[in-house]
Amino acid sequence: MTENSATDRLAELSGHGVSIWLDDLSRGHLRDGLLADLVGTKHVVGVTTNPTIFAGALAKAHDYDDQMATLAAAGTGVDDAVIAATTDDVRDAADLFADVYRRTGGQDGRVSIEVDPRLAKDTEKTIEQARLLWSTVDRPNIFVKIPATKEGLPAITKATSEGISVNVTLIFSLDRYRAVAGAYLDGLELAQRAGVDLSGIRSVASFFVSRVDTEIDKRLDALGTDEATALKGKAGIANARLAFQAFEEIFSTPRWEALAAAGAHVQRPLWASTGVKDPAYPDTMYVDELVVDGVVNTMPEKTMRAVADHANLRGDTVHGTYEESRRLLDRLERLGVSYTDVTDTLEVEAVEKFDKSWAELADTVTAALARAGVAK
């Protein structure tokens, strides 16, 4: 596989209208040029982060030692030190993507930073931190990530109404996806009434894919029947395809057309959790099977390199699948695999996972401050 042919696969994916974003960010990759190389040669036009990514970045390298020493000397507390480190990385990454941002008219060139997951059930504090992160990074090409919990929905509306661009994360169910899109439209309408320029507001809705298969496959294995086995590894893709159907419906209504006429942009679907969890499955299937114009696919570096090497791209793999996708979810229900229970479970587990990662991040920063001798 030559470098040119590998790059051509990513170019082909991009040519189908899929924005390729990297699901990773570290100060080391900002400094060693890896991220710049991915932007320059691999068609990467955005970056997403989360507490797990930052916890790993701070724990594995000494790139943050100098900053931690400075913060410790100033008597900075742990939470403030976490925000300082993460917002600095996101700001630097946003600057790296500034040309992409301008070239795409603000659609891409985006870098996401997540609110503290401990606030996932607190609407007002989520809004406060969204404002803090937006103003601290102070770059037009960032997204503030807000989880799609019930308490997060009004925070999405409020942040959008204030002109903050939001990446809504941790979406698992179709009902919640529709609620997220509704929250975005509510925010745009409030912004319009307040005189905010709608053309400056962007949003993506991060619909998680592989985790759906992980949970459903576990339940299918417990059933142990041939029919159950035959359905493994299919629900995540079907669920995402039906989310795109919902996207098409929502963003073709008279309500949306009125906002679009005022300069608003659609809230693009973003395929998240696209690294394959089960090694029995093709390692590019959550890319190959979700190709459609107008979406983002944010990939771990390992998945991105697999796509570059051997993706099975066949054009649009979403349109024309809606009926089949609905039948598949119906079959799961008939087998006793409750869609609602699965998606509710996944949301709870996802928030808990990010809570744990945030705690690990705080522990790492605490240790770094302690090494400087003046931890708070």
Query: Under a CB-based contact definition with an 8 Å cutoff, are residues 159 and 167 in contact?
Result: no
| pLDDT higher than 60, residue 223 | yes
| pLDDT higher than 60, residue 4 | no
**What is the rounded average pLDDT of the residues 245-262?**
98
Give the integer Cα–Cα distance in Å for 217 and 202.
35
Average pLDDT, whole number, for the chain? 94
How high is the pLDDT of residue 211?
Answer: 97
| pLDDT higher than 80, residue 373 | no
| pLDDT higher than 70, residue 234 | yes
Residues of the chain with pLDDT > 70, as a percent, come to 97
Does residue 145 have an active-site annotation?
yes
How high is the pLDDT of residue 190?
Answer: 98
Give the integer Cα–Cα distance in Å for 212 and 243.
13
Please write the tens of the pLDDT for every residue from 104-149.
999 999 999 999 999 999 999 999 999 999 999 999 999 999 999 9
| pLDDT higher than 90, residue 55 | no
| pLDDT higher than 90, residue 370 | no
How high is the pLDDT of residue 56?
Answer: 87
Query: Under a CB-based contact definition with an 8 Å cutoff, are residues 239 and 271 in contact?
Result: no
How high is the pLDDT of residue 1?
Answer: 36
**What is the rounded average pLDDT of the residues 269-278?**
96
Catalytic residue among 42, 60, 125, 145: 145
How high is the pLDDT of residue 103?
Answer: 97
Query: Under a CB-based contact definition with an 8 Å cutoff, are residues 242 and 326 in contact?
Result: yes
